[in-house]
């Protein structure tokens, strides 16, 4: 088959120019692109790769949006992966800004470093696009009016001019794109722009039939949306220049972002936190559905002797069809005990959120949080309608400081022992969360020993990479000897796997 | 075979003629599905027009829409085909008098006239152009997914007694999923993938205008703005496009020509279905909608 041969050639890195599939350059580019997607963690199969190649044959290569969508439709099969795809796409095709010419040349001849500010802005021609003819104030003024009228073409040119002037990019300088972005936006007073747009809007007396307050809200949202778009333009411009400077592969490597399910809880940026937040809900929903189904099918229940005999009468007394009792669903009871001191707070928050989002899968969920004191927080989850609200209250209202607000696992466990040990039943699974960094306090590991004896299972989840365990003041192994399992739990993927295993156990 | 769409922009325009406003992503994938003859897996929140898309495609291409609604417990006999065994029994009984030999009877009762076609087989055997919609495919068990694979990749069905029935034409096939579970890799690999999300302000406004033509531009804009505002809140279930349209109709019916907090307060329950969501939106949009009362 034609495409099989083609794939073969690709694998052996011998790319010829087969008729009908764009050109050799195109193939090369696509192959590199798919390679990069895989490096970013996206599963792209051979079939999908071939689909992409067949797909791009059917669209004009000058249509960048359609080109992007064709690749996305054939290569990305999960919406959570779309962002990662877009990042790779933007890098990979950063230089082909207008679209990809049939021969893989720059679509509209726009090459980095020379005359990118072609027209539109007076005084921008030549001289590396720093736009000397324009003062900073004039630039800011133009930006403001372009934002007000939402002239995208103008904005794109302004973004380009602003980057040239403010980012201070030098070839070969080993600085990430974020730094340049920050510099550019600060010079443009990005944070103040929304306010200035609001003021400008008032001067112009925008039409308002609706009451002022509601209108103002819409206006603000509209402006924020526009600013976000402008910010993306600046980012794209910076990326384009970086790619031109350092080459596609190097850039793709530095800008590679983990997929949401692989983001490390302990080092997540604010933006990644939001992503995680959004990823939790669908993930738990999917997991719950899967588990419910599995449970239903697995437990057949015991043989129902009476029913079997009764049924056998219709076969003349031959027990042809055995009957089973309806299984009683055995839902485990969960106790979560979480360290919420600074270093592991976000991990505890996500895990609590995750566990409560799955509360329907357990017969009962109770939770405690501690630093050096310990407090039961089940009430917050029972009182609040929303998990995020409850988690917020846990962080602000729980009484977890006993002496100095440094983690003391030993004391927390001791208190738990005196107050709650009696409540542990053979149906209870206990999950302990924390990095076991005990600040050299007494570990009181006998508490765990007793807990394990009473409970059905005792697990420990540690958000630290395995390599750091037992270094410094971490005593995870000492506690671990009394647990049924100690798991590294650094991202959603590991958390999901753990929860699914616990429910099954 | 004849191609249904000539280009991406042609797809956009023709879908528009049946009041479906597609963006580049949607139109691109539909166009590609036509050209590559591959099924499309459409995912996205409830009520963003996944099923509507299939209806729209059927309408512009002049095809019949065959719909297979998936549910837990769906099996071969409901999705593909079933032998009409009552009719088979009748045939055998009727035959007693004629004493024809067994081989004849057997080949007779396992012939097509004793076959009850279900949506998938019906789609394959159809002579006229069709669009096949497999709705909410995430509801079937993962094992049942397998029975779709042969249909999706080769558009054929193997029936042991009859052999393989190959489709006479390649219809456009759409599968929708609400993401209640992860679909199998095998299924995803056979499909193009399209994720439809809530629309941008402009598109939503246009959708409202197209679907509820009696509404003037200004009101449509306000409607879209309110909906965007609500979607930005942290709520359980964001309003879908169909709810936006319902809301627009409600406003029209009640005779409102512009939106103010009071109007929102009175009709919020059309957009939102959870009491906590309604309370939250009310707090944000109706009670504290002042320029300084920013949300976090």
The predicted-structure confidence for A211-247, as pLDDT tens digits, reads as follows 457 777 778 888 888 888 888 888 888 877 777 777 7
CA B152 centroid distance within chain = 16
Whole-number Cα distances in Å, A145 to A141, A155, A192, A193: 6, 10, 15, 11
Boundary of a domain, candidates A188, A205, A233? A233
Determine the residue among B8, B53, B280, B293 to mutate to test chain A binding: the one whose Cβ has the most chain A Cβ atoms within 10 Å.
B8
Task: Tell whether A268 is covered by a domain.
Answer: no
Radius of gyration of chain B (CA): 24
pLDDT the model gives residue A244: 74
B160 and B25 together in one domain? yes
Nearest to B29 among A73, A82, A388 (CB): A73
Q: Which of residues 248-277 of B touch A (CB under 8 A)?
A: 258-261, 264, 276
Is the pLDDT at B213 greater than 60, yes or no? Answer: yes
Considering the domain architecture, whether residues B268 and B165 belong to the same structural domain is answered as no
- How far, in Å, CA of B65 to CA of B176, rounded? 14
Band of pLDDT at residue A431, cut at 50, 70 and 90: confident
Q: Of chain B residues 120-159, which have a CB less than 8 A from chain A?
A: 141
Q: Is the pLDDT of residue B175 over 90?
A: yes
pLDDT tens digit string along B242-262? 899 999 999 988 888 888 888
Is there a domain that residue B226 lies in? yes
One domain for residues A386 and A462: yes
> Could you read off the pLDDT of B140-152 as tens digits, one per residue?
877 778 888 888 8
Q: Can you tell me the mean pLDDT for B264-271?
A: 87
CA–CA distance, A210 with A348 (Å, rounded to integer): 44
Q: How far apart are CA B277 and CA B275, in angstroms?
A: 5
Return the pLDDT at A132.
Answer: 52
CB contacts under 8 A, B 206-245 vs A, are 218, 222, 225-226, 228-229, 232, 234, 236
Half-sphere exposure of B110 (CA within 13 A, CB side): 10
pLDDT for A318 equals 80
Q: Among B12, B36, B74, B138, which would you mutate to test the A interface (most chain A Cβ atoms within 10 Å of its Cβ)?
A: B36
CA distance A441 to A462: 19
> Of B180, B195, B210, at which residue does a domain stop?
B195
Q: Torsion-angle region of residue A38: left (phi > 0), alpha (psi -120 to 50) or beta?
A: alpha
The domain tally of chain A equals: 3
Number of domains in chain B: 3
Rounded Cα distance, B174 and B134, in Å: 6
**Within-domain flag for B169:** yes
Q: What is the pLDDT of residues A305-329, one digit of tens each?
A: 888 888 888 877 787 788 887 766 5
> For position A439, what pLDDT does the model report?
82
Q: How many Å apart are CA A155 and CA A152, to the nearest integer? A: 5
Above pLDDT 70, what percent of chain B?
A: 95
**Interface contact flag, A217 B185, Cβ < 8 Å:** no
* Residue carrying the six token digits 């807990």: A451
Domain assignment present for A242? no
Same domain, B13 and B153: yes
Please say if the pLDDT value at position B204 is more than 70.
yes
Q: Which residue has the tokens 């929304």?
A: A194
List chain A residues with CB under 8 Å of B229. 217-218, 221
| Position A253 pLDDT exceeds 80 | no
With contact defined as beta carbons under 8 Å apart, do A15 and A24 qualify?
Answer: yes
What per-residue confidence (pLDDT) applies to B173?
A: 92
Q: Is residue A214 part of a domain?
A: yes
Report CA-CA distances (Å) from A112 to A117, A126, A245.
10, 12, 9
Ranking A125-139, A476-490, B8-22, B241-255 by mean pLDDT, the lowest is A125-139
DSSP state at residue A434: S
- At B30, the pLDDT band (50, 70, 90 cuts) reads very high
- Residue A328's pLDDT is 61
Whether the CB-CB separation of A432 and A463 falls below 8 Å is answered with: no
- Torsion of Cα atoms, A456 then A460 then A466 then A469, to 10°: -120
Q: Which domain holds residue B214?
A: 201-283
CATH number, domain of A465, equals 3.40.50.410
| Closest-CA distance of chain B to residue A196, Å | 14
Which of A59, A82, A214 is nearest residue B261 as measured by Cβ atoms? A214
The string of pLDDT tens digits covering residues A86-116 is: 888 888 887 655 444 333 333 333 334 333 3
Chain A residues touching B232 at Cβ < 8 A: 221
- State which residues form the domain around A163: 130-233
| B92 interfaces chain A, CB cutoff of 8 Å | no
Q: Tell me: do B113 and B126 sit in the same domain.
A: no
A338 and A201 in one domain?
no
Question: Percent of chain A at pLDDT above 90?
Answer: 1
φ, ψ at A40 (rounded to 5°) = -80, 0
Gap from B205 CA to chain A (nearest CA, Å): 14
Is residue A462 within a helix (H) or strand (E), and if so which, with residue range?
A: strand A457-462
Q: Which distant-in-sequence residues (6+ apart) come within 8 Å of A159 by Cβ? A: A230, A233, A234, A236, A237
In a domain, A429, yes or no: yes
Alpha helices (runs of H) in A205-324, residue ranges in sequence order: 212-246, 248-255, 270-298, 305-312
Average pLDDT over residues A362-385: 84
Can you tell me whether residue A66 is helix, strand or coil? helix
Q: Is A6's pLDDT higher than 70?
A: no
Q: With CB atoms and an 8 Å threshold, state whether B188 touches A77.
A: yes
Residue A125 pLDDT exceeds 50: no
| Contact by Cβ (8 Å): A157, A121 | yes
Could you tell me which chain B residue has the CA closest to the CA of A49? B189
- A42 with A183, same domain: the answer is no
A207 phi and psi angles, rounded to 5 deg: -60, 125
In a shared domain, residues B53 and B144: yes
- Convert the pLDDT of each residue in A39-77 to its tens digit: 877 888 888 888 898 888 888 877 888 888 889 999 988
Do A19 and A141 lie in a common domain? no
Q: What is the pLDDT of residues B53-109, one digit of tens each?
A: 999 999 999 999 999 998 888 888 888 888 888 888 888 887 777 667 777 877 888
Contacts of A355 (CB under 8 A, 6+ apart): A334, A336, A365, A367, A431, A499
To test the contact with chain B by mutation, choose from A150, A214, A278 the residue with the greatest count of B C-beta atoms within 10 A, namely A214
From A117, A233, A124, select the one nearest A181 (Cα to Cα).
Answer: A233
Best mean pLDDT range from A5-9, A497-501, B221-225, B230-234: B221-225
B267, B250 contact by CB (below 8 A): yes
* Chain B residues lying within 8 Å of A214, measured CB to CB: 259-261, 264, 285, 289
* Contact between B180 and A74 using a beta-carbon 8 Å cutoff: no
Q: Nearest-CA residue of chain B relative to A81?
A: B195
């Amino acid at each position: 088959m034609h495409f099989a041969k083609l794939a073969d050639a690709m694998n052996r890195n011998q790319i010829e120019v087969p008729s009908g599939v764009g050109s050799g350059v195109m193939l090369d580019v696509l192959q590199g692109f798919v390679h990069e997607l895989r490096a970013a963690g996206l599963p792209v199969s051979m079939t999908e790769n071939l689909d992409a190649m067949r797909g791009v044959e059917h669209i004009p290569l000058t249509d960048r949006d359609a080109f992007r969508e064709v690749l996305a439709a054939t290569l990305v099969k999960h919406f959570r992966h779309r962002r990662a795809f877009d990042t790779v796409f933007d890098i990979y095709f950063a230089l082909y800004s207008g679209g990809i010419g049939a021969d893989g040349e720059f679509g509209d001849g726009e090459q980095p470093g020379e005359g990118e500010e072609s027209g539109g802005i007076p005084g921008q021609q030549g001289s590396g696009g720093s736009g000397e003819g324009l003062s900073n104030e004039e630039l800011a003024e133009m930006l403001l009016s372009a934002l007000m009228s939402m002239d995208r073409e103008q904005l794109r040119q302004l973004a380009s001019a602003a980057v040239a002037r403010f980012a201070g990019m030098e070839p070969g300088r080993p600085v990430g794109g974020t730094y340049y972005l920050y510099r550019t936006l600060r010079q443009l007073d990005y944070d103040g722009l929304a306010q200035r747009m609001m003021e400008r809007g008032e001067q112009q007396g925008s039409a308002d039939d609706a009451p002022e307050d509601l209108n103002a809200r819409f206006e603000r949202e509209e402006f924020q949306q526009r600013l976000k778009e402008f910010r993306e333009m600046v980012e794209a411009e910076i990326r384009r220049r970086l790619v031109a400077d350092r080459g596609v592969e190097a850039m793709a490597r530095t800008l590679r972002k983990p997929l949401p399910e692989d983001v490390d809880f302990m080092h997540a940026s604010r933006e990644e936190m939001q992503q995680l937040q959004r990823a939790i809900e669908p993930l738990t929903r999917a997991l719950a559905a899967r588990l419910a189904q599995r449970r239903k099918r697995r437990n057949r229940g015991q043989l129902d002797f009476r029913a079997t005999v009764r049924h056998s009468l219709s076969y003349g007394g031959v027990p042809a069809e055995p009957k089973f009792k309806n299984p009683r669903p055995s839902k485990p009871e969960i106790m979560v005990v979480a360290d919420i001191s600074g270093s592991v707070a976000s991990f505890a928050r996500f895990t609590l959120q995750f566990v409560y989002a799955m509360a329907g899968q357990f017969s009962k969920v109770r939770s405690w949080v501690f630093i050096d004191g310990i407090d039961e927080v089940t009430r917050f989850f029972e009182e609040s309608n929303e998990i995020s609200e409850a988690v917020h209250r846990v962080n602000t209202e729980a009484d977890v400081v006993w002496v100095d607000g440094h983690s003391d696992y030993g004391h927390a466990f001791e208190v738990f022992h005196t107050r709650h040990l009696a409540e542990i039943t053979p149906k209870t699974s206990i999950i302990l969360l924390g990095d076991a960094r005990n600040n050299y306090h007494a570990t009181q590991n006998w508490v765990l020993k007793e807990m394990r004896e009473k409970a059905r299972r005792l697990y420990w989840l540690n958000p630290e990479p395995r390599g750091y365990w037992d270094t410094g003041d971490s005593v995870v192994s000492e506690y671990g000897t009394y647990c049924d399992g100690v798991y590294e739990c650094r991202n959603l993927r590991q958390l999901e796997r753990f929860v699914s295993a616990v429910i099954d156990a | 075979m004849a191609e249904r769409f000539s280009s991406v922009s042609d797809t956009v325009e023709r879908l528009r003629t049946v009041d479906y406003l597609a963006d580049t992503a949607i139109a691109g994938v539909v166009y590609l599905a036509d050209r590559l003859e591959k099924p499309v897996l459409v995912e996205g929140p409830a009520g963003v027009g996944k099923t509507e898309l299939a209806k729209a495609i059927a309408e512009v291409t002049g095809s019949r829409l065959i719909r297979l609604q998936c549910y837990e417990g769906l099996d071969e006999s409901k999705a593909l085909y079933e032998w009409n065994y009552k009719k088979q029994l009748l045939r055998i009984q009727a035959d007693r008098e004629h004493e024809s030999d067994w081989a004849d009877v057997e080949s007779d009762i396992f012939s097509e006239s004793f076959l009850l076609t279900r949506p998938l087989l019906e789609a394959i055997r159809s002579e006229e152009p069709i669009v096949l919609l497999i709705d909410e495919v995430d509801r079937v068990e993962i094992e049942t997914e397998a029975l779709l694979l042969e249909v999706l990749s080769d558009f054929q069905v193997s029936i042991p007694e009859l052999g393989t029935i190959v489709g006479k034409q390649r219809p456009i096939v759409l599968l929708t999923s609400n993401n209640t579970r992860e679909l199998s890799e095998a299924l995803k690999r056979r499909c193009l993938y399209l994720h439809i999300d809530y629309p941008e302000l402009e598109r939503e406004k246009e959708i409202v205008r197209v679907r509820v033509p009696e509404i003037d531009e200004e009101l449509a804009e306000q409607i879209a703005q309110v909906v965007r505002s609500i979607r930005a809140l942290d709520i359980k279930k964001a309003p879908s496009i169909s709810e936006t349209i319902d809301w627009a109709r409600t406003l029209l019916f009640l005779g409102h020509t512009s939106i103010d907090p009071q109007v929102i307060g009175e009709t919020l329950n059309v957009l939102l279905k959870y009491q906590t969501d309604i309370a939250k939106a009310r707090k944000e949009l109706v009670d504290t909608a002042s320029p300084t009362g920013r949300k976090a």
